[in-house]
């Protein structure tokens, strides 16, 4: 493969200097700044979150990296990480229906998603610099990840499927980049039948979630994709935005030998 061309898929780093330019999705400890609080505090919980998968010496893809906390923690464990996140506001598909918003509201909403995304990317790049990270970054749409990024020993898909209209399509796409292990950390409900539950209700205020999938759906979908589940564990994590602990399930799946 032509190396110059391969390098060009990676984002250029940003020179971010102040916290004012940033919005942190994750709480993180940064040299010179101390603890910076974000929406979720996963500090000290990385092993639970990754389902105790050993990432040392592994090439890892962090899908939906946000402020990058998981990328930087996996790097600390000796992984070589590529962080992936949305390129622009049009790729973020929070539930919204025409009957709920005027055209003006819709424009403002897109603008606010764009501002948040840019400030979140800044939080990633500030941390990247302060932590001397070597992680590479690719911005794009989860449904169309560039094949030039190559194959990974471990692909991590965490707390992103819930925000997508077609989570199964996105999972299938992400799985194609894993040569060995796929870790999925998401809200999941326990049911052996392959089911997908719609989160928005017509009489409720709309949030940011579309679907929760059942354990049975993950088992069947992963089987179709050539993986088998090796562990499934549910843990509670500090969601500072919602001021409470929230259960999140980590599914570790391994590619079957013949697929
Ligand atoms: C809720 S955060 C998850 C952060 C992190 N993975 C974790 O588990 O703590 C979801 C991330 O997915 C990204 N995202 C949402 N839609 C996307 C899309 N279509 N393509 C790529 N990234 C997307 C968002 O920008 C955000 O950074």
Mean pLDDT of the chain: 94
Would you say residue 4 has pLDDT above 70?
no
138 lines ligand 1 (CB under 6 A): no
First-residue to last-residue Cα distance in the chain? 24
Identify which of 23, 48, 64 to mutate to test ligand 1's pocket (most ligand atoms within 8 A of the CB).
Answer: 64
Rounded distance from Cα 168 to ligand 1 centre (Å): 15
Q: Indicate if ligand 1 lies below 6 Å from the C-beta of 64.
A: yes
Indicate if ligand 1 lies below 6 Å from the C-beta of 40.
yes
- When pLDDT is averaged across residues 131-144 and rounded to a whole number, the result is 98
pLDDT at 5 over 60: no
CB of 23 sitting under 6 A from ligand 1: no
pLDDT band at 206 (very low <50, low <70, confident <90, very high): confident
Minimum mean pLDDT among 28-37, 88-97, 166-175, 203-212: which range? 203-212
Is residue 100 scored above 90 in pLDDT? Answer: no
- Ligand 1 centre to CA of 258 (Å) is 31
- Taking the CA of residue 66 as reference, the ligand 1 atom at the shortest distance is 27
Is the pLDDT at 3 greater than 60, yes or no? no
What is residue 96's predicted lDDT score, i.e. its pLDDT? 79
In order of 130, 182, 218, 251, the CA distances from 136 in angstroms are 15, 19, 29, 25
Please check the confidence at residue 1 and state whether its pLDDT lies above 80.
Answer: no
Task: Give the pLDDT confidence score for residue 7 in this predicted structure.
Answer: 54
163 lines ligand 1 (CB under 6 A): yes
Q: Is 38 in the pocket of ligand 1 (CB under 6 A)?
A: no
Query: Which residue is it, tokens 């400890």?
Result: 29
Q: Rounded to the nearest whole angstrom, what is the distance from the C-alpha of residue 23 to the centroid of ligand 1? A: 14
**Cα gap 147→180, rounded to integer Å:** 17
C-alpha of residue 123 to centroid of ligand 1, in Å: 14
Q: How far is the centre of ligand 1, averaged over its atoms, from the C-alpha of 238 (Å)?
A: 18
For residue 142, give the ligand 1 atom closest to its CA. Answer: 20
Q: Which residues are CB-neighbours of 83 under 8 A, at least 6 positions away?
A: 62, 65, 68, 71, 124, 135, 136, 137, 138
Residue-level pLDDT at 2: 46
Distance 86 CA to ligand 1 centre (A): 7
The preferred substitution site among 74, 85, 162 for testing ligand 1, maximizing ligand atoms within 8 Å of CB, is 85
Find, among 123, 154, 135, 96, the residue nearest to 40 by Cα: 123
User: 146-178, pLDDT tens digit by residue?
Assistant: 999 999 999 999 999 999 999 999 999 999 999
- Assigned token pair, 191: 């049911």
Question: From the CB of 91, is ligand 1 less than 6 Å away?
Answer: yes
Domain boundaries, the chain: 21-255
Fold for 21-255, please state it: Rossmann fold (3.40.50)
Looking at the predicted structure, is the pLDDT value of residue 68 above 70?
yes
């Amino acid at each position: 493969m032509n190396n110059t061309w391969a390098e060009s898929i990676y984002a250029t780093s940003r020179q971010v200097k102040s916290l004012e330019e940033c919005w942190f999705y994750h709480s993180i400890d940064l040299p010179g700044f101390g603890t910076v609080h974000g929406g979720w505090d996963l500090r000290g919980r990385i092993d639970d979150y990754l389902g105790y998968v050993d990432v040392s010496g592994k090439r890892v893809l962090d899908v939906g990296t946000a402020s990058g906390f998981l990328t930087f923690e996996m790097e600390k464990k000796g992984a070589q990480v590529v962080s992936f996140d949305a390129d622009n506001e049009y790729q973020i598909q929070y539930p919204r229906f025409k009957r709920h918003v005027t055209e003006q509201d819709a424009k403002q909403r897109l603008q606010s998603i764009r501002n948040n995304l840019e400030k979140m990317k800044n939080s990633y790049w500030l941390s990247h610099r302060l932590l001397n990270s070597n992680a590479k970054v690719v911005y794009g749409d989860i449904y169309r990840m560039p094949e030039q990024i190559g194959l990974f020993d471990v692909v991590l898909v965490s707390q992103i499927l819930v925000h997508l209209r077609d989570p199964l399509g996105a999972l299938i796409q992400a799985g194609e980049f894993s040569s060995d292990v796929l870790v999925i950390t998401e809200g999941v409900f326990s049911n052996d039948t392959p089911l997908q539950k719609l989160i928005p209700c017509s009489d409720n205020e709309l949030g940011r979630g579309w679907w929760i999938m059942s354990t049975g759906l993950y088992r069947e979908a992963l089987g179709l994709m050539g993986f088998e589940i090796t562990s499934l564990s549910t843990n509670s994590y500090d969601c500072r935005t919602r001021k409470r602990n929230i259960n999140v399930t980590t599914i570790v799946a391994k590619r079957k030998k013949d697929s």
